[in-house]
Structure 1
Amino acid sequence: MTDRPHMLYVAWGFPPCRGGGVYRALATANRFAALGWKVTVLTAERETFYRFTGADATLEDRVDPSVEVVRVPFDWPVMETDLRRWPKARARNPRLWSKWRNKQDLIPFPEHGYGPWRSVIEEAADRIHAENPVDLTVATANPHVAFTAAYHLHEKANVPYVMDYRDAWLLDVFSGNRLHEPNSRAAKWEKKLVDAAQEVWFVNDPIKEWHVELYPEQAGKMHVVANGFDPELVPDTQDRGAVVDRPLTFGYVGTVSPKVPLQDFVDGWKIAVEQSEELADAKAKIHGYLGYYAVPRPDMLAAINSGSAEGVSYEGPVGKAEIAKAYDEFDVQLLMLGKGKYVTSGKVFEYLATGLPVVSVHDPENAASDVLRGHPLWFPVTDVTPEAIAAALIEAAHAARTADEGIRQKAREFGAGYRRDLVMDPRIEALADVVKKKSEVHA
């Protein structure tokens, strides 16, 4: 190791990917670089995101110039919609071909769609390490196949690694059910990976504690590294103070997953608009992707359009370069999440950074509630029904029209404590010590 340790960061979703986890990936690579590490990112080719998931080209401008990004091919046959690219076997019998393809995917690694990427990233990790020895690997999931490159370097060259979970592998964070049986290949892989890891990161305490119970002997290496917010990525929102002379604007920014109670929100919005004069002519603007892919899900679009007469509108995706303009229109933020006590969402931290009022349109038991508890302008629903959502919206509307500067300042101060570097730096410093001690032993 030189005075500048080399960190290999393995992430399938990295800019220009527009998935929710990309902000954590971008921030991690940038923060290591800011603290003096040489950073190499191993990720998929740009075409992957432009063709399959949607892309945000503005995010690439946010990558630290010192970070080297190595892109490798990613083949995703089951997602291919261009008939000209289909093999003859698929064209003749698409259903039979898909079953065969899914089985093939699982041979190298037990993860549908991503298994074949294992050999690609392991070979790439070898090349990177040969050119410039890697001192630490950080791999982020999902997909969980990213962990294999870290494990490969550990087995081959004794490189320590970190498993960074944005979600969970064996746990369904929405239902709380176990996804894979104890004797499954996925479970065996995870145990092997956790046993060999230097550290394992989780985004909140509930997910961490679930894994502590599963792997009690590895509890000491498990840490919560919350998403937090990045000052350079958070919109410079102008809080215009109490709104007394114009209609209010409520807003949501982010991917709307199928788990989000979108129709319940629209129905609740209609009730609130009808019941409260403070919501007269108010607007509810939904910015982002509807579903996980580039094309909006028709059912979600229909749900939004069902409230168009009452001011609900879909504004489409918004890039980071334009996000400040979107937030600057908001008087109240809408935090809409799927149900699950393990669900936090990175969006909650960005919302906190603005200091604006937040309406939580999600189950009260969600982990996001633990983050927001104590916020002076937080308006949670008592349950996820149109009536309860309407009540929270009406409360938030009243606060938007009456909250003074003192309360708003307290809201900004509350959010400031969730700046990402305050959460991430202690772990990076601890890992730097591990790498330094390892190099001294081998000196």
Structure 2
Amino acid sequence: MSVSTTDIAERETRPHVLYVAWGFPPSRGGGVFRALATPNAFAEAGYDVTVLTAERETFERYTGADASLEAEVHPEVEVVRIPFAWPALETDLRKWSALRMFAPDRWRDRQLKIDVSTFPEAGYGPWSKQLEAAALAIHARKPVDLVVGTANPNVDFVPGDVLNRRFGVPYVMDYRDSWMLNTFDGGFLHPEGGRVDRLERELLSRAHEVWFVNSPIRDWHAERHPEVADRMLVVANGYDPQYAPDPRLEAPDPSRPLTFGYIGTISRMVPLEEFGQGWARAVAEHPALAGAQAELWGHLGYFSIPSAAMLRQVEHHAKDGMSYHGPVPKTDIAKVYDRFDGLLLLMGGGRYITSGKVFEYCASGLPVVSVHDPENGASEVLRDYPLWFPVTDLSPEAISAALRSAAEAARHADSRTREACVAFAERYRRDRQLQPRIEALTGFLGTSREDTTEVGA
């Protein structure tokens, strides 16, 4: 295919954004969809986009991979992969040292010191040097106009830091989580005034923008860093229309039992045991749930092998219609939603927690049963969703009551109510969350590039 001189000229004038994400496809981690959508959105907006991430083997060996996601990367996005070592998860005994074999506690202490020697983040710290070298090489090959780092891990902020300090390149810090804030209990993950706190303050002070996934997390940081508050913005996770479920606008066949479903990662913070008890009570006591099924799809735990403890909890309630079906490729997710008459939102506690799954659930038009602390951040999102059924607490009685109400709605909610659910979800499309920020950055970069040209002239 021939390339015209006009095409070459246009490419040379495009702003170049470097997007840094450890968890990029084929990673199957919860933040991967934000990491996939953001560079794609920049590419659609006319940017040259380079993604800096870890090698595929990292995810295939340690966390599990979803190979189907790689096909969803915009064709004009360049992906640069660099090695990532994860000694703590190395299972090949032939690669273990004698110290690790015979004194594992001493080995862990030594490894932690190594991890944080260059960057204060256990497991990820040593990667900072490779990230820094890769960022400098990318900038030398094609000058970078903007860096967007998404965390966690927070080491993803290193390329923006080094290119800003050396060349004045502006950077955006995109927090999918928080570095200092414990989003489950509202406390601190690291000591105030300590190394992490000092480094975060330094990075925030020079950031062009700082993105957070919800208002509670943004407000917590703004209170601690008032001098940066005007640059702190909320970019909600949202849902991706191409993966979203087809809205269900009609009631299910009254002759068959209902099926409720969950899709996503179930971590140790999820009240799985409490849900199991409430589900068992609901199917035993409420006629609307007679013979009903509760299907769990996704990962049990953060790693490739399902958590044995969680599997036992599911199997304990198999007699009650509860079952685990394993992970599902994102490209097949709409088909799985077609199985459900209602959705289960099982989440850990904390007013700062908002799962990206919430927004996708809303797009379905199905009843949503919230099994989590009522103070959870997801409650703020779902409060006006017409078919939302939250628990009042995590007792079996409260969970059972919410399930019963959701079952009645699944049978009897009319099409107008379901259409209102879908309309409610539209505001949370991920592209609509990203568009204002990309437009603002485009305007800023256009001005910056013009100023640079004038100075150079």
Return the TM-score normalized by structure 1: 0.98
Residue 73 in structure 1 maps to residue 83 in structure 2 = yes
Secondary structure, counterpart of 2:13 in structure 1: coil
Q: Which moved more, 1:131-140 or 1:407-416?
A: 407-416
Matched, 1:182 2:192: yes
Equivalent residue in structure 2 for 1:299, among 303, 309, 315: 309
Deviation track 1:43-70 (CA, whole Å, cap 9, x = no partner) reads: 0000000110011111111111111000
Note the C-alpha offset of 1:169: 0.5
Aligned to 1:25: 35
The correspondence for 2:426, drawn from 396, 416, 430, is 416
**Residue 8 (structure 2) aligns with:** none
SS of 2:274's equivalent in the other structure is helix
Instruction: Give 3-state SS (helix, strand or coil) of 1:173's partner.
Output: coil
2:38 and 2:242 mapped to 1: Cα distance? 13
Q: Identify which of 337, 346, 368 aligns with 1:336.
A: 346
- 1:126-169: CA deviations, max 9, x gaps? 01111111000000000001101110010011110000000101
Q: Do 1:242 and 1:402's aligned partners in 2 also have CA atoms closer than 8 Å?
A: no
Distance 2:66 2:129 in 1: 28
1:378 aligns with 2:392: no
Moved more, 235-244 or 40-49: 235-244
Contact conserved, 2:247 with 2:422, CA < 8 A, in 1? no
1:266 paired with 2:249, answer: no
Q: Does 1:57 align with 2:72?
A: no
State the distance in 1 between where 2:412 and 2:245 align. 24
1:84 aligned partner: 94
Distance 2:376 2:16 in 1: 37
Cα offset for 1:32?
A: 0.8
Which residue of the partner structure matches residue 349 of structure 1? Answer: 359
For the residues of structure 1 that align with 2:56 and 2:391, how far apart are their CA atoms?
Answer: 40
User: Secondary structure of the residue that 1:137 maps to in structure 2?
Assistant: strand
Aligned partners of 2:243 and 2:333 also within 8 Å: no
Q: CA–CA distance in 2 between the matches of 1:239 and 1:296?
A: 34
Distance in structure 2 (CA, Å) of the matches to 1:243 and 1:370: 32
Report the secondary structure of 2:30's partner residue: coil
Distance 1:439 1:61 in 2: 33
Post-superposition shift, 1:322?
2.0
Distance in 2 (CA, whole Å) between partners of 1:236 and 1:73 is: 39
Task: Report SS of the residue matched to 2:325.
Answer: strand
Q: How well do the aligned residues superpose, as a CA RMSD in angstroms? A: 1.1
> C-alpha displacement at 1:242, in angstroms?
4.3
**Structure 1 gap segments, 5+ residues each:** none
Output the CA distance in 1 between the equivalents of 2:97 and 2:391. Answer: 50
In the alignment, residue 148 of structure 1 is paired with which amino acid? V
Secondary structure, counterpart of 1:147 in structure 2? helix
* 2:151 aligns with one of 141, 151, 170: 141
Contact 2:249–2:415 (CA under 8 A) maintained in structure 1 = no
The correspondence for 2:257, drawn from 247, 251, 258, is 247
Tell me if the contact between 1:237 and 1:327 (Cα under 8 Å) persists in the aligned partners. Answer: no
The alpha carbon displacement at 1:89 in A equals 3.0
Question: Contact 1:243/1:402 (CA < 8 Å) preserved in 2?
Answer: no
Offset at 1:255?
0.2
- 1:308 matched to 2:340? The reply is no
Deviations, residues 176-208 of structure 1 (Å, cap 9, x unaligned): 111111221100110000001000000000000
Give the Å deviation of 1:235: 3.0
Aligned residue pairs total: 443
Which residue of structure 1 aligns with residue 415 of structure 2?
405
Specify the SS of the correspondent of 2:53. Answer: strand
Aligned to 1:195: 205
Deviations 1:79-135 (A, max 9, x none): 111112213332232221121011111100111011000000000000111111100
Structure 2 counterpart of 1:168:
178
1:436 maps to what in 2?
A: 446
Structure 2 Cα separation of the partners of residues 176 and 242 of structure 1: 41
Partner SS for 1:316: coil
SS at match of 2:359: helix
The one-letter amino acid of 2:63's match is: T
Post-superposition offset of 1:395: 0.2
- Aligned residue for 1:340, secondary structure, equals coil
Q: CA deviation at 1:324?
A: 1.8
Distance in structure 1 (CA, Å) of the matches to 2:124 and 2:149: 15
Deviation at 1:418, TM superposition (A): 0.9
Q: CA deviation at 1:354?
A: 1.3
Looking at structure 2, the residues matched to 133 and 260 of structure 1 have their Cα atoms a distance apart, in angstroms, of 44
4+ residue runs of structure 1 moved beyond 6 angstroms?
none
Alignment identity in percent?
55
Q: What displacement does 1:298 show?
A: 1.3
Report if the CA contact (8 A) 1:253-1:286 is conserved.
Answer: yes
Quote the Cα distance in structure 1 between the aligned partners of 2:377 and 2:104: 41
The alpha-carbon deviation at position 239 of structure 1 amounts to 4.6
The DSSP-based 3-state class of the residue aligned with 2:148 is strand
Deviations 1:392-430 (A, max 9, x none): 000000000111111111111111121111111111111
The aligned amino acid for 1:24 is R
Quick check: 1:48 aligned with 2:58? yes
SS at match of 1:363: coil
* Conserved? CA contact 1:356–1:408, under 8 Å: yes
**In structure 1, what is the Cα distance between the partners aligned to 2:331 and 2:203?**
38
**Counterpart in 1 of 2:300?**
290
| 1:237, distance to aligned residue in structure 2 (A) | 4.9
Please say if residues 151 and 193 of structure 1, whose CA atoms lie closer than 8 Å, have aligned partners that are also in contact.
Answer: yes
CA shift at 1:243, angstroms? Answer: 4.0
C-alpha contact (below 8 Å) 1:237/1:328 kept by paired residues: no
Correspondence for 1:10: 20
8 Å contact from structure 2 (residues 261, 295) kept in 1: yes
Distance across 1 between alignment mates of 2:21 and 2:313 = 33
The one-character-per-residue Cα deviations of 1:337-372 (angstroms, maximum 9, x if unpaired) are: 000000001010111111111111111111101111
Task: Report the AA paired with residue 277 of structure 2.
Answer: D
